């Protein structure tokens, strides 16, 4: 193969790869919109199901799953964030970074990141049995928090590690403490990356079905308290798609569509937020 042909072949390969990626994305969105849009109605968004989610006769909406998913995802993301930020900073050079533990922790977090969510679900189930808690909003939040933490820590940690030493020194030479440097300078530098990390984890949390299957359960009513079962959009998709009635299956696609829109809206919001922080950062 001569050099020009080689160049063309590689270019073709890249275009093909991109086509597959963009094509599948469009296909996914297309199918969900095509199948889900017809059943989308105000009723779907504002009402809980009548007569059970698995029957074609009932009607009503999937507000229970929408509210449930938002509770689960926001609750767990918030807790995971509170735990992950200090943990990510702890892995930096100034703290644990120079010891051998940092490397081991990163490895452990990577393994956790890659752990299938059904394993988290099964683990959560055992813990709940042991503690005598039944499937509930609290159980779901705890397991989703565990699911999100490794993603958040690792994604944040990579960003925090990229902060130039000079910037920290520039703050230190003015007499700032490490805490002041972190909260007044480093934060500005890493904010866009932290927002991205949070979004990444939130997306995993809100979209995960397996981990909430045993831990949060499912219900037709709105979540009443932390200790009651709660519905979620991924499980609304899962259960309704498994029913032999086309009307119920269509509602599954509507649930998927709503899930997609929530994630999309959050992505856009976080991008706008990140942009505000990014303007002061040299790239």
Partner 1 sequence: MTHDATAAVNPIRIKDVSGFYGPSRVLDSINLEIPRNRITAIIGPSGCGKSTLLKCFNRLIDLVEGASYSGQIIVDGVDVLGKDADVLEIRRKIGLIAQKPTPLPLSIFDNVAYGPRIYGQKDRAELEKIVRHYLEVAGLWEEVKDRLKTPAINLSIGQQQRLCLARGIAVDPEILLCDEPTSALDPVSSQHFEEQLKLLKEKYTIVIVTHNIHQAMRLADYVAYIYLGELIESGPAAEVFENPKDERTKAYIKGVFLNDLPPEAGERSGSNPEDFGGRDEDPDVQHGRILVPGLSEGD
Q: Of 211, 202, 204, 262, whose CA–CA distance to 235 is shortest?
A: 211
Q: Which alpha helices (H) appear in the chain, and where do they start and end?
A: 3-36, 42-46, 63-90, 100-114, 117-131, 137-161, 165-172, 178-181, 187-207, 210-215, 233-241, 246-278
B/e letters for 92-130, b = 16+ CB within 10 Å, e = fewer, are beeebbeeeebeebbeebeebbeeebeebbbbbbeebee
Which CB sits closer to partner 1, 6 or 169?
A: 169
Out of 8, 104, 134, 184, the residue judged to bind partner 1 by CB under 8 A: 184
98 interacts with partner 1 by CB under 8 A: yes
Q: Which of 5, 131, 174, 246 binds partner 1 (CB under 8 A)?
A: 174
- Determine contact, residues 86/180, Cβ cutoff 8 Å: no
Kindly state the tokens that stand for 173. 């030479």
How many angstroms from the chain centroid is the CA of residue 157? 17
Separation in Å, CA 261 to CA 17, 34, 109, 197, 268? 26, 14, 30, 19, 10
**DSSP code, position 60:** B
DSSP-derived 3-state class of residue 49: strand
Write the binding mask 208 to 247 for partner 1: x where contact by CB under 8 A, - elsewhere: ----------------------------------------
Nearer to partner 1 by Cβ, of 225 and 280: the residue is 280
Q: How far apart are CA 217 and CA 139, in angstroms?
A: 9
Quick check: 189 binds partner 1 (CB under 8 A)?
A: yes
Q: Among 100, 173, 244, 246, which residue sits at the site for partner 1 (rule: CB under 8 A)? A: 173
Q: Which is nearer to partner 1, 185 or 243 (CB)?
A: 185
Least distance between partner 1 and beta carbon 203 (Å)? 27
Q: What is the C-alpha separation between 57 and 245, in angstroms, rounded?
A: 10
Closer to partner 1 by CB, 3 or 279: give it: 279
Q: Does 180 bind partner 1 (CB under 8 A)?
A: yes
Q: x/- binding map, residues 146-165, to partner 1, per CB under 8 A?
A: ------------------x-
Q: Which of 104, 169, 268, 269 binds partner 1 (CB under 8 A)?
A: 169
Nearer to partner 1, 261 or 281 (CB): 281
- Given candidates 2, 3, 114, 280, which one binds partner 1 under the rule CB under 8 A? 280
Please tell me whether residue 279 binds partner 1 under the rule CB under 8 A.
yes
Closest by CA position to 38, among listed 247, 207, 259: 247
**96 touches partner 1 by CB under 8 A:** no
Does position 275 interact with partner 1 (CB under 8 A)? The reply is no
Residues that bind partner 1 (CB under 8 A): 93, 98, 164, 166-177, 180, 184-185, 188-189, 279-282
């Amino acid at each position: 193969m001569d050099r020009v042909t080689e160049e063309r072949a590689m270019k073709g390969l890249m275009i093909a790869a991109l086509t597959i990626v963009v094509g599948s994305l469009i296909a996914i969105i297309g199918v969900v919109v095509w199948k889900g849009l017809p059943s989308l109605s105000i009723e779907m968004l504002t009402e809980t199901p009548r007569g059970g989610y698995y029957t074609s006769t009932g009607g009503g909406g999937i507000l229970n799953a929408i509210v449930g998913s938002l509770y689960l995802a926001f609750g767990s993301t918030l807790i995971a964030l509170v735990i992950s930020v200090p943990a990510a900073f702890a892995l930096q050079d100034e703290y644990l970074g120079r010891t051998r533990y940092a490397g081991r922790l990163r490895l452990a977090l990577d393994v956790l990141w890659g752990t299938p969510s059904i394993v988290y679900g099964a683990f959560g189930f055992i813990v709940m049995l042991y503690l005598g808690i039944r499937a509930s909003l609290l159980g779901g939040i705890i397991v989703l928090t565990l699911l999100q933490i490794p993603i958040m820590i690792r994604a944040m940690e990579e960003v925090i590690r990229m902060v130039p030493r000079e910037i920290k020194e520039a703050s230190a030479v003015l007499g700032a403490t490490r805490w002041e440097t972190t909260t007044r300078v480093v934060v500005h530098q890493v904010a866009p990356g932290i927002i991205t990390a949070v979004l990444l984890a939130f997306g995993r949390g809100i979209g995960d079905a397996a981990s909430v299957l045993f831990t949060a359960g499912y219900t037709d009513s709105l979540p009443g308290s932390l200790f009651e079962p709660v519905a979620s959009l991924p499980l609304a998709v899962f259960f309704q798609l498994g029913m032999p009635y086309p009307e119920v299956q269509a509602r599954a696609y509507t649930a998927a569509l709503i899930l997609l829109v929530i994630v999309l809206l959050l992505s856009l919001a976080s991008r706008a937020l990140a942009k505000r922080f990014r303007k002061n950062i040299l790239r």
